[in-house]
Amino acid sequence: MPGGFFGGFTESVVDVAPNVRLRVRHGGEGLPVVLLHGHPRTHTTWYRVAPLLAAAGRTVICPDLRGYGRSSAPDPLPDHAQASKRAMAGDVLALLRALGHERAAVVGHDRGSYAALRLALDAPEAVTALAVLDSVPIGEALARADARFAAAWWHWFFFAQPDRPERAILADPDAWYGGNPARMGEENHADHRRAVHDPAVVRAMLEDYRAGLGVDRAADDADRAAGRRVTCPTLVLWSSRDDLEDLYGDVLGVWRPWATDLRGGRIDSGHHMAEEAPEQLAAALSAFLGALGR
């Protein structure tokens, strides 16, 4: 692994919105790529991938999304819009500007993929390429929700309930979120564990899901009704040992109405592909971005 745990990267805190600061690690030289983590991880989930992309000639930017890790957790609003993917996308755009970049490729995993998609739709001039990992758009997932989806992804609906999820999770965060330090890496696991033991972070992560069933779905549905599509090249990758194909069959078929230039395929991994298959993932991302020259 080049340089060990984020070797050669700088960790800093950047103001991106009123009362919102993002913790971020960034390093490397070349065209920028932003890596957005999913739930319940922090930016350190990318510690095996980011140095590989930097070694391949990229400036790599890895923030904690708002409400996650050590980034700000805004107080909840009645409609949960403070945790919307539009708000997260706005943070990423402001972060890019603060670091001196006008445009970047954006990669998102799990919940981070929704923020990445929203940025590509809301600010297409700022996104040179989009990669989404282990997801379909929120509006598409909910439109297809059936008993099988509810059985597999029940947490979407439980996390959206008021108060009870916080009480259940904070009674034993390790039982809820687990994580094997041998598999995740000691530093990554320690960062993850610190986050899930923080009541403010747990509440903010649940607000992400509450926004998902409301304002985020409404934003997706409005874009779909208006015929808006991602206009930059788009890569969809999914874990072969996760359940996306079981739920949706043709994953690219679900994404096809959302992007004008679409490609993708499987990664031989479980859900947390950045931790479980970093070399394969970095190679796929490098090939995609390198072919585009973006």
Catalytic residue among 64, 110, 134, 220: 110
Place of tokens 């009674």: 171
Do 66 and 22 touch, CB atoms closer than 8 A?
yes
Catalytic residue among 101, 198, 221, 271: 271
Ramachandran class of 179: left when φ > 0, alpha when ψ lies in -120 to 50, beta otherwise: left
> CA–CA separation, 24 vs 100, rounded Å?
14
- Indicate the pTM of the whole model: 0.97
pLDDT at residue number 292: 75
pLDDT at residue number 1: 44
Strand bridging mode 31-36 / 104-109: parallel
Residue range 80-107: average pLDDT? 98
Query: What DSSP assignment string belongs to 163-174?
Result: SHHHHHHHH-HH
HSE-CB of 234 using CA atoms within 13 angstroms: 25
Read off the pLDDT of residues 47-73 as tens digits, 9 standing for 90 and up. 999 999 999 999 999 999 999 999 999
User: How many C-beta atoms surround the C-beta of residue 200 within 10 A?
Assistant: 12
pLDDT at residue number 179: 87
pLDDT at residue number 213: 97
Question: Is residue 271 among the annotated active site residues?
Answer: yes
Average pLDDT, the chain: 95
- Find the helix packing angle between 199-211 and 186-196, rounded to 10°: 80
Ramachandran class of 35: left when φ > 0, alpha when ψ lies in -120 to 50, beta otherwise: beta
pLDDT at residue number 252: 97
Say if residue 4's pLDDT is above 90. Answer: no
Q: Is residue 148 classed as helix, strand or coil in its secondary structure?
A: helix
Q: How far is CA 227 from CA 122, 142, 146, 224, 235, in A?
A: 13, 18, 25, 5, 20
Nearest alpha carbon to residue 31 among 106, 117, 140, 105 = 105
Say if residue 168's pLDDT is above 90. Answer: yes
Which structural domains are found in the chain, ordered by start?
10-287 (3.40.50.1820)
Do 26 and 53 touch, CB atoms closer than 8 A?
no
Q: How confident is the model at residue 290 (pLDDT cuts 50, 70, 90)?
A: confident
HSE-CB of 47 using CA atoms within 13 angstroms: 21
Say if residue 291's pLDDT is above 80. Answer: no
Do 205 and 66 touch, CB atoms closer than 8 A?
no
pLDDT at residue number 81: 97
Q: How confident is the model at residue 76 (pLDDT cuts 50, 70, 90)?
A: very high
Q: Output helix, strand, coil percentages for the chain, rounded to the nearest 5.
A: 50, 20, 30
Read off the pLDDT of residues 198-247 as tens digits, 9 standing for 90 and up. 999 999 999 999 999 999 999 999 999 999 999 999 999 999 999 999 99
> CA–CA separation, 216 vs 81, rounded Å?
8
Q: Identity (one letter) of the amino acid at 174? A: D
pLDDT at residue number 3: 59
Q: How confident is the model at residue 294 (pLDDT cuts 50, 70, 90)?
A: low
Say if residue 293's pLDDT is above 80. Answer: no
Q: How far is CA 246 from CA 42, 238, 241, 253, in A?
A: 27, 11, 10, 14
> CA–CA separation, 206 vs 155, rounded Å?
10
